[in-house]
Amino acid sequence: MTADATIHTPSHTQTHAGMPGATGLRHDWQQAEVLALFDMPLMDLLFEAQTVHRRFHDQNAVQLSQLLSIKTGGCAEDCGYCAQSAKYADAVGLKAEKLMDVETVLADARKAKAGGASRYCMGAAWTRPKDRDLDAIVDMVKGVKAEGLEACMTLGMLEPHQAERLAEAGLDYYNHNVDTSERYYKEIITTRTYEERIETLAHVRAAGINVCSGGIIGMGETREDRADMLITLANLPEHPGSVPINMLTQIKGTPLYGVDKLDHFEFVRTCAVARMMMPLAQVRLSAGREEMDEGIQALCFMAGANSIFYGEKLLTASNPEENKDLQLLDRLGMYPER
């Protein structure tokens, strides 16, 4: 062990659901020690992250999630990275659509399962869902569950009664990303506060739904911001069950189009640090994977990533084709988690 390794030695033992007596689950991370992880020689960092990963996960299994935009465009938020904001609709050329009907969604879910996905994620471009839409949303959740898939939703901010209704329907995961650090957040979004995002995560936990929360890197933030984003997640009362790490997909017409692109090795480092800070979470390679070559993706798996978004589209952005994903996993001796 190197001298640096002592900074992330588990400070206490905590019992976690599904992992009795699991050690190394911390909720007291500080910026200096997280930055020290980021600063490690890359091979040392990958070794440490893979060691943690193998302790808690099947090292060769990758969970496949498929994502469908069930309500596209027309969002009132001004997230600087998002093509679905009504504010950028003319520049992007994206028209707002209505909520899909239930059977169309379930037909796509059946196709996703046949293609190997084990989790089906549904996203709607809303600030928050309206109660009048919850009947259809609940039917989607129940239908996806009936197909034998895990169900995940991302609908914006939630009120407690909405989270409870989704829990009663059997929703497994609710996605609500913190996006970036609290400090940098106001540079990206002005229509929703950081505190409101944390409040929604609290409502989700209180309802008994698993939290899926991560962020986007490559938006012009600093490494300190990336560290602080992970600290926000790891220092929640419970670690998120899933942590999506997104690379900014630059979309012409959005404010973040044209920002300097992030070194892909920094993306690998972020995955590795996320794995070390949140050992039991599924660390998911999300948006931006299409721009990564297979070598970088393999390094991300070495760093402890064990989930990918699978399918040809992520909401409005393209994604590597399904057969390419399966071919890559096969070449690496890896396989879909079941």
Half-sphere exposure of 200 (CA within 13 A, CB side): 24
Residue of 197, 226, 275, 284 marked catalytic: 284
* 75 catalytic residue (yes or no): yes
DSSP state of 80: T
In Å, how far are 14, 86, 261, 316 from 201, measured between CA atoms?
A: 21, 25, 30, 24
* 212 catalytic residue (yes or no): yes
- Rounded CA separation 138/4 (Å): 48
Residue 19, beta-bridge partner list: 16
Which pLDDT does position 320 carry in this prediction?
52
* 300 catalytic residue (yes or no): no
Which pLDDT does position 85 carry in this prediction?
83
Q: Quick one: 331 exposed, middle or buried, by C-beta within 10 A (0-12, 13-18, 19+)? A: exposed
User: How many residues belong to the chain?
Assistant: 338
The distance of Cα 12 from the centroid of its chain, to the nearest Å, equals: 27
> Mean pLDDT in runs of 10 for the chain (338 residues)?
33 32 76 97 97 96 92 83 82 84 94 89 90 95 95 95 96 96 95 94 97 96 98 97 94 89 96 97 89 93 93 49 82 91
Which pLDDT does position 23 carry in this prediction?
53
Q: From its phi and psi, is residue 170 left (phi > 0), alpha (psi between -120 and 50) or beta?
A: left
* 82 catalytic residue (yes or no): yes
* 79 catalytic residue (yes or no): yes
- Rounded CA separation 228/199 (Å): 18
With residue 152 as reference, give the H or E element that holds it.
Answer: strand 150-154
Which pLDDT does position 322 carry in this prediction?
61
Which pLDDT does position 41 carry in this prediction?
98
Residue-wise over 126-159: b if at least 16 C-beta within 10 A, else e? bebbeeeebebbbbbbbbbbeeebbbbbbbbbbe
- Rounded CA separation 208/179 (Å): 23
Residue of 79, 119, 197, 271 marked catalytic: 79
Q: Which of 295, 315, 242 is nearest to 68 (CA)?
A: 315
Residue of 26, 119, 121, 192 marked catalytic: 121
Residue of 26, 82, 197, 275 marked catalytic: 82
Residue of 26, 75, 192, 197 marked catalytic: 75
Which pLDDT does position 5 carry in this prediction?
33
- Rounded CA separation 105/182 (Å): 35
Global pTM reads: 0.87
For the chain, how big is the Rg over CA atoms in Å?
A: 19
DSSP state of 4: G
Which pLDDT does position 164 carry in this prediction?
97
Which pLDDT does position 337 carry in this prediction?
87
- Rounded CA separation 293/143 (Å): 36
Q: Which of 228, 262, 234, 272 is nearest to 35 (CA)?
A: 228
Which pLDDT does position 38 carry in this prediction?
98
In Å, how far are 81, 229, 253 from 244, measured between CA atoms?
A: 16, 12, 24
DSSP state of 287: T
Residue of 26, 165, 197, 212 marked catalytic: 212
Structure tokens that stand for 7 in this block:
């900074």
User: H-type helices in the chain, by residue range?
Assistant: 31-38, 42-56, 89-92, 102-114, 134-146, 160-169, 182-185, 194-206, 223-234, 264-277, 294-302, 322-331
